[in-house]
Amino acid sequence: MLASTLWFASEPSMRSVVFIAALSFLPSCGGGSSNATTDGGPSGSHSITYDFDGVAYAGSLLATATLMNNNAGGNDLGIEASDLSGHVLAIAVAPATPAATVMTGTYAVQAAPPLATFQFSNGTSGTWGASQTDGSGSLTITTLTGTEIKGTFSATMVATGADGGTGSGMLTNGAFDLPVN
């Protein structure tokens, strides 16, 4: 699994940056439609949906939430979603300290943990992000069990990287109900 190879830095804010930076290694998928709303899992009830600049998306090829334990006894959260048109959303959440665990509550894009970071790749049309230095946003976890996570999110993102989009990107109406890996 991709997320399991991403979070080995010891500082919480660096763990989020490493996770989001690894998004560029995800394969692009061409063709198809982005109309599917479930992750295709056995129950079919898990989903992630959001709007980016007013266009509705749903992660269907990869819609996962991973809690990754670290060496200090805490954990980090990674949420990944992609669709058949090559749109990819990645969200990382780091608790206050390496020994802390992700819990229900709100995690904002800010300079120091606890924090959330976001990145969205719009196929070949660019990449936008919200991190410790640019953009704003938050993720609210309303339910977290050993098998399921639910919540909402939104962000105002800036164009990033060599293939950055133009202007800011608005991530709105985000909602997820995913199995926990």
Per-residue confidence in pLDDT tens, the chain, 181 aa: 333 222 223 344 444 444 444 333 333 333 333 333 333 333 456 889 999 999 999 876 678 999 999 999 999 999 999 988 888 999 999 999 999 999 999 999 998 999 999 999 987 788 999 999 999 999 999 999 999 999 999 999 999 877 767 778 999 999 999 999 8
In a domain, 29, yes or no: no
pLDDT at 27: 34
pLDDT at 144: 96
- The string of pLDDT tens digits covering residues 105-122 is 999 999 899 999 999 998
Q: Is the pTM of this model over 0.85?
A: no
- Three-state helix/strand/coil letters over 12-81: HHHHHHHHHHHHHHCCCCCCCCCCCCCCCCCCCCCEEEEEECCEEEECCCEEEEEEEECCCCCEEEEEEE
Bridge partners for 130 per DSSP: 118
In a domain, 149, yes or no: yes
In a domain, 67, yes or no: yes
Instruction: Give the chain's domain count.
Output: 1
In a domain, 86, yes or no: yes
What is the domain range of residue 66? 3-24+36-179
In a domain, 154, yes or no: yes
Q: Evaluate whether 132 touches 158 at the Cβ level (below 8 Å).
A: no
In a domain, 31, yes or no: no
In a domain, 30, yes or no: no
Cis-peptide into 113, omega within 30 deg: no
